[in-house]
Structure 1
Amino acid sequence: MDVIENISSLIEKLSWNLSEEEKEDVINKLQYIKDEDLHLLVQPISKDYWDGAAETVIRLGYPRVKSILPGLLEWIQDINWPGAGEIAVFLLEIGDPMIPYVKDVLNQHSDDEEWVYRIFNDLIDHWNTLQILQIQAELIKISQEKANDLSALRILLTHGIYAKDVVCEIIQRKKDVIAFELKELHDTHPEIDCEALHKEFFNQQPNVIKQFHEHNKERFYICNSISKRQEVLREIEIFTAEFLTS
């Protein structure tokens, strides 16, 4: 049996139902894994194995796992994934070496709303100003978009990159755009009563709910568009009250 098979067989023993003593033995053996095999520890086999793999990665530590940092950053895309919380703490502790990998995600995947949110929540929100300055351009770009823009503005304000009056102007422009979009949706679809539509939906018998939704698909789409913009306005009001009101 060659080395790669040995490593694979060890990883196959990392399932959640392994006893603590057995798991400790496997993790200790995996400390001798070769650098070219490290990628095998990134979310291996199925979710039953991810907790053990995460513990192994963390035990290996940095800089040993430098080559798989992009894969570990992907691991925190969903905080509900086994091992994701522990990996997030580990990546935060690594500090500065994570900056180029975070920059790459912000530049190439800013439209992945959930992933970028997790990166803000688990990493960027805890960085110091010197670290934040190294992703300044990316934060400014995201602050002009529609996803995670308020998180970016908060960081830019907190670390003194943007003054409060600048953020106020940006926020007002965002509110103006959303207000215009809402007015346009209401003006072009005055016949749609979203509250009545949802009430009618919940009053349907279970066997016809799918048919009702399909028949009213366009109306649901418009109401969903209105609802999303109203939610953004609520988030802006909360942001304003928390960060911009003296």
Structure 2
Amino acid sequence: MIYNNSYTVILDDLSEYISTNYESLLKEDMLQLEYKNYIIDVGFYAKEFILYIIKDHNWNIPIRKEQIQENDIISKINKTCIEVLSMNLQELIPENKFDIEAVRRLSENNTGQIASIALPLLEWIADMNWPVASELIHVLPRFHKELLPSIRCILIDQKKDLIWKYWIITRLLIQFPKESQLELLPIIERLAELTPKNEDEIELKEGALNFLENIK
């Protein structure tokens, strides 16, 4: 049986049972899938299949323990794989302005699913005076492709904070590869043509002009 390719298969006797229905294969340890510090475990206990989600090898306190029906095993495992990936992604988002540990986890992450948490990550550079922002700003450029759609939405949304846009342009986009910078060029050119009405708009306009000057 093919499982989510983000996982490492530690043990799999479940596939053979699904193919053959040999009752001799029924046992407590039938499937273990590992993703980072999570394990999905499926086994047969007495008269039922049980699915566990284990974190940090803490088998005494599973995140989840639930009975699953035999005719729903494959569907349930696939859904659980997606849920665990989501759990891991949530751990990459800082919980407060001092959460440097979340930034460390993000820096060690190689998933291609950062786009799904791009906006909450970008929210943590809305104020570059926050300790977490000064660390995060050096990690985010690794994910420039995944961040681009959210950055585009922020920059064109007239309701978004102007200083947030300023930090994105002057501290984040300046680190992006040229090809990613060029994708946002028309938006930044429009910001550079603003007629400022207040101090924040003046700063944003200056930031846009400096960006355009630096990428020439």
Equivalent residues in 2 for 1:12-161, closer than 5 Å:
34-37=84-87, 38-44=89-95, 46-47=96-97, 50-108=99-157, 111-145=160-194, 146=196, 147=201, 148-160=204-216
1:55–1:127 Cα change, 3 Å: closer
* Greater share of helix: 1
Cα drift, residue 135 of structure 1: 0.9
Q: Distance in 1 between matches of 2:178 and 2:148?
A: 13
1:132–1:40 Cα change, 3 Å: closer
1:109–1:35 Cα change, 3 Å: farther
Gapped regions of structure 1 (runs ≥ 5): 10-32, 161-246
Gapped regions of structure 2 (runs ≥ 5): 1-51, 59-82
Letter in 1 for 2:94: Q
Q: Deviations over 1:52-90 (max 9, x none)?
A: 222122222342534212211111112232422222111
1:47–1:142 Cα change, 3 Å: closer
Q: Distance in 1 between matches of 2:210 and 2:146?
A: 23
Cα drift, residue 92 of structure 1: 1.3
Q: Distance in 2 between matches of 1:36 and 1:97?
A: 16
Q: Distance in 1 between matches of 2:213 and 2:97?
A: 39
Identical pairs, percent: 23
Contact 1:110 1:142 (C-alpha < 8 Å) held by counterparts: no
Letter in 1 for 2:164: W
Q: Deviations over 1:108-159 (max 9, x none)?
A: 1575122112112222223344322211221122112232112212333444
Q: Secondary structure at the match of 1:34?
A: helix
Contact 1:107 1:138 (C-alpha < 8 Å) held by counterparts: yes
- What count of residue pairs does the alignment treat as equivalent? 132
Q: Deviations over 1:170-222 (max 9, x none)?
A: xxxxxxxxxxxxxxxxxxxxxxxxxxxxxxxxxxxxxxxxxxxxxxxxxxxxx
Q: Distance in 1 between matches of 2:116 and 2:101?
A: 19
Letter in 2 for 1:34: V
Q: Secondary structure at the match of 1:60?
A: coil
